[in-house]
Structure 1
Amino acid sequence: MTTDQIHIAFLRAVNVGSRKVEMARLREVLTGLGLGSVRTYIASGNAFFTSADSDPERLVALIERALEDAFGFEIPTILRTADQLRAELAAAPFGKTPPAADERFSMLYGSAPLTGTDLPVRSPKGDWEVLGTHGGTAFVRWRLLGGRPVNPAPVIEKMFGVRATGRFFHTSQKILAAAEKN
């Protein structure tokens, strides 16, 4: 007997510019794939579901194909189980100290393990720093420039040879809590 696991799908670059993805439609598409207990969290592309399928590559391919068919553009999807996200949050090097007023703590979720780079790595401008990794997740401290964070995801993708999307650390904590609610 197989037990359904809670999965968390992090969708990249939705509801920015012309890349509109209504959460109700997203839930319909995922439910139509036979995924169970489909829910979403905020409109930035976070979905939770249960599935007995434990092959993340197969699930990602299925989801990405269905999303492109439904919305008309590619939506890169990074998948974690609730257990994986819990372990990544526990491994985060941010400690209990909140970020300074000019910084943000972030988790960049990669599509594969992040290996082959000596850490920490800091951008030439000093606007972000990869403090460490855990599996496929990079822990990043952002510095605000002109009041805004700079997105290091494209650099992370190139550095590690993966697709990636990020969420602030505090948002990641809230995503896990929401995913585990019944």
Structure 2
Amino acid sequence: MTTTYAALLRGINVSGHKRVPMGDLRELLTRQGHGDVRTYLQSGNAVFTSASDDERALTTALERAIEQRFGFRVECVVRGAGYLRAVAEACPFPATSLEAKQLHVTYFSEPVDPGRLSSLDQAVYMPEEFRLGDRALYLYAPNGLGRSKLAGALARPALFQGVTATTRNWNTVVKLVELTHG
């Protein structure tokens, strides 16, 4: 039996840094024995099938393979199709009535203790808001991520130290659900 997964690579192909061509990523995943490998956009989204049911082992193997192939470390989050759908369905914001640039999901490598976020006074950032979910954080930024003061506050390294975090806009969240359930 195989499971369909999405691999979310953090911080690649941004301003010419950590360049990972999607064709090379597909080839790398195929060499690892994964099937039905596809990529979405240039920002590090890959979908594949695997006989493994161990997301952590898949993540570690992919991170090592990327470092060996490209010579630099790239943090990854690998999540199964069911989880991706559950995250989309659990969105606490009215996703269907918002523009994709207004809604983002940050996927975490592990659960995040809500206490890490207790220093953020959400009232200061209104109308921007965030909600913590299961290994995910939902961010509503009505003026987009680039202008979001709350996104900047959430990006402070100390908040999520020791946890891999990678963010996708709502269009990508929905597309990954489609690709993993297609």
Per the normalisation by structure 2, the TM-score is 0.83
Specify which structure has the higher proportion of helix: 2
Cα 1:96–1:59 change in 2 (3 A) is closer
Structure 2 partner of 1:37: 36
Structure 1 partner of 2:173: 172
Q: CA deviation at 1:6?
A: 0.4
166-175 vs 146-155, greater mean Cα deviation:
146-155
Structure 2 partner of 1:158: 158
Partner SS for 1:7:
strand
Structure 2 partner of 1:21: 20
Q: Which amino acid aligns with 2:12?
A: V
Structure 2 partner of 1:139: 138
Give the counterpart of 1:105 among 103, 106, 120: 103
Paired residues, number = 176
Name the Cα RMSD after superposition: 2.7
Cα 1:27–1:98 change in 2 (3 A) is same
Cα 1:147–1:8 change in 2 (3 A) is closer
Structure 2 partner of 1:86: 85
* Runs of 4+ displaced beyond 4 Å: 118-121, 123-128, 149-153
Q: Is the 8 A contact 2:95 2:103 kept in 1?
A: no
Q: CA deviation at 1:139?
A: 0.6
The answer for unaligned runs of 5 or more in structure 2 is: none
Per the normalisation by structure 1, the TM-score is 0.83
**Does residue 68 in structure 1 map to residue 67 in structure 2?**
yes
Give the counterpart of 1:4 among 2, 14, 34: 2
Q: Is the 8 A contact 1:116 1:160 kept in 2?
A: no
Q: Distance in 1 between matches of 2:24 and 2:144?
A: 35
Q: CA deviation at 1:128?
A: 4.7
Q: Distance in 2 between matches of 1:50 and 1:32?
A: 13
Q: CA deviation at 1:89?
A: 0.5
Q: CA deviation at 1:99?
A: 3.0
The answer for unaligned runs of 5 or more in structure 1 is: none
Q: Distance in 1 between matches of 2:169 and 2:122?
A: 18
Q: Distance in 2 between matches of 1:146 and 1:40?
A: 23
